[in-house]
Amino acid sequence: MPIERLASSHGASKVLSRVITQIDAILWLLMSLNFKIINLMRSKLQNEVCEVIEGWKALALDFHRRIDSSAQRTQWRFVILGGCLVLSILSQGCGSASSNAASSKPAGTPTMPVGVATTQSRDMPYYLTGLGSVTAFYTVNVKSRVDGQLEGVKFKEGDNVKQGELLAVIDPRPYQVQLDEAQATLAKDEASFRDAKTILERYQALFKESGAVSQQQIDTQQATADELAGTVRNDQALIDNAKLQITYSRITAPVSGRIGLRQVDPGNIVHATDTNPMFIITQLQPIAVLFTLPEDSLPTVSQHMKQNTLSVEAYSQDDQTKLATGKLQTIDNQIDATTGTGKLKAVFDNKDNQLWPNQFVNIRLLLEVRKNSTVIPAAAIQRGPQGTYVFVVKQDKTVDIRPVTIAFTQQNLANIASGISPGDIVVTDGQDKLQAGSKVAPRAQDATGSQPASGNSGTPGNPSSSDASTAQRQSRSHNGSPSADSSNASSGNSSK
């Protein structure tokens, strides 16, 4: 065997020992660098790995040239050439990995689809909003003013009644008897009064003619006549009272309004001292709404009230449906120290009965209309450490960051005091992946930030009454900033 012949020589064994030691060191080094090479191939340092592998290849070839004898070359060329083959495969893998990495690099910056809207110049109303409760303009608890049996009810529950209309009848017969008795007593006392008055006149004539009657008798008769005159007047008062009781037995509507459910059924005995009413009448046309505003807003409202009558709009609890339009009537004379709010009262015609007592509504108090305001959808507003800003689409389809100053926000529209001009195109959707200079593919939306129902991509339309996604977009972009966010940075690194 060649190995046995080589081992028989003392010099050859030394050479063999040194070669084996070097080969073992090389193999151990290659094994230890195996995982490092794999990791480096997967990183951005493929070029450095290739340089390391080429260096090991040159070292192996140089070691092969240094072996002197042909026998030694014959014995170790297979080992060395095998190592070179492994290094060549690794270098090819390195080259292919680098070529794949190069081919996987993006050709350019990706285009982001976004929703946009055009900045408009328009007249924008300025509202103050508050929560209100509807209150009937008049509320009357109808009770009986006399005692008796309820004979009948002349209305249907829920009817609209007019002032003076007959509602119920209480048995009037006891009061009719009292009237008849008082009238009889009156007739009796009137006869006595006439007799006393006649006697007084006779006494006065005799006293003047012959003095047959003393002055004392005349005075006594005068007192009797006066007493009977008082009795007659008392009888007349009893008659009037009996007539009044009969009138009270017929219950009429004190005000015009809507009558509710009756509390007492016919046939029951009612009393003037009863605590509970027989029925309740509420005036719904007109109707009032009591609402509150912060105390800081009251001076402004008071100043505008001196200039003209302020319009008030009532909306449903979800703040989507307009119920009625009315006028502000007054401001309460004191501020609630507990809540720091002032109470205001508005009056509505309520012709279509959209408002009902104790109904909760959202109130919008129109203070003024600001002319030629710069208006954008509220969804375009972004907030960051530097303040509020928007993304403006330039002519080359890239975006620019513009700091803006917001005058006020109404529903889903924002009035911009400075930062942009009418005609500028702002991004209303998809801002979370944008940064300065990002290329975008805009799709037109209306002035509220919603995509038009039709395919029209021209001038944004009029603002709608609601935008369900506005709050979500604002909350999503609330923590944003003019600089690129972390997710954008990470996606950019992964694409390189």
Q: Is 79's pLDDT higher than 80? A: no
Residue given tokens 């008071």 in the structure block: 302
* 34-43, 167-176, 426-435, 441-450: least confident range: 34-43
Q: Per-residue pLDDT tens for 104-130? A: 444 456 888 999 999 999 899 999 999
Are 155 and 161 a contacting pair, CB within 8 Å? yes
Are 150 and 383 a contacting pair, CB within 8 Å? no
Mean pLDDT of 18-41: 57
Are 221 and 199 a contacting pair, CB within 8 Å? yes
Q: How far is CA 436 from CA 114, 396, 481, in A?
A: 14, 13, 11
Q: In what order do the strands lie in the sheet with 166-170?
A: 250-252, 166-170, 148-153, 269-270
Q: With pLDDT > 70 as the criterion, what percentage of the chain qualifies?
A: 68
Mean pLDDT of 381-408: 91
- What span, in angstroms and rounded, lies between the C-alpha atoms of 205 and 222? 13
How would residue 96 be classed by pLDDT, with cut points 50, 70 and 90? very low
Mean pLDDT of 307-316: 93
What's this model's pTM, rounded to 2 decimal places? 0.56
Q: With pLDDT > 90 as the criterion, what percentage of the chain qualifies?
A: 50
Strand partners, 114: 442
Do strands 139-142 and 279-282 pair parallel, antiparallel, or not at all (unpaired)? antiparallel
**pLDDT value of position 64:** 52
Q: How far is CA 138 from CA 257, 288, 377, 379, in A?
A: 8, 9, 43, 44
Which phi and psi angles does 170 have, rounded to 5°? -105, 145
Torsion sign (Cα): 416, 417, 423, 426 = negative
How would residue 233 be classed by pLDDT, with cut points 50, 70 and 90? very high
- What span, in angstroms and rounded, lies between the C-alpha atoms of 279 and 139? 11
Q: Per-residue pLDDT tens for 401-415? A: 999 999 988 878 999
Which phi and psi angles does 253 have, rounded to 5°? -75, 120
Q: Per-residue pLDDT tens for 241-251? A: 999 999 999 99
Q: Per-residue pLDDT tens for 142-167? A: 999 999 999 999 989 999 999 999 99
The verdict on whether omega for the bond into residue 286 sits within 30 degrees of 0, i.e. cis, is: yes
Task: Report which DSSP code applies to 430.
Answer: -
Q: Per-residue pLDDT tens for 185-211? A: 999 999 999 999 999 988 888 888 888
Mean pLDDT of 326-352: 93
Query: Residue 471's CB: how many other CB atoms inside 10 A?
Result: 12
Q: Is 265's pLDDT higher than 80? A: yes
Residue 101 CB contacts under 8 Å (≥ 6 apart), including other chains: 44, 46
Written as one letter, the residue type at 71 is A
Q: Would you state the torsion angle of the CA atoms of residues 246, 247, 253, 259, taken in this order, to the nearest 10 degrees?
A: 0
Which structural domains are found in the chain, ordered by start? Answer: 2-104 (no CATH), 113-121+373-495 (2.40.420.20), 148-278 (1.10.287), 281-370 (2.40.30.170)
Q: Which of 175, 303, 308 is nearest to 243 (CA)?
A: 175
- What span, in angstroms and rounded, lies between the C-alpha atoms of 448 and 344? 31
Query: Residue 9's CB: how many other CB atoms inside 10 A?
Result: 12
Mean pLDDT of 279-283: 93
Are 45 and 36 a contacting pair, CB within 8 Å? no
**pLDDT value of position 493:** 38
**pLDDT value of position 13:** 55
Q: Which helix (H) or strand (E) holds 328?
A: strand 322-336
Which class for 386: exposed (0-12), middle (13-18), buried (19 or more C-beta within 10 A)? Answer: exposed
- 361 versus 477: the higher-pLDDT residue is 361
Angle formed by the axes of helices 215-248 and 173-209, to 10°?
160
- What span, in angstroms and rounded, lies between the C-alpha atoms of 396 and 417? 26
How would residue 76 be classed by pLDDT, with cut points 50, 70 and 90? low
* 66-75, 334-343, 435-444: least confident range: 66-75
Mean pLDDT of 59-68: 56
- 89 versus 126: the higher-pLDDT residue is 126
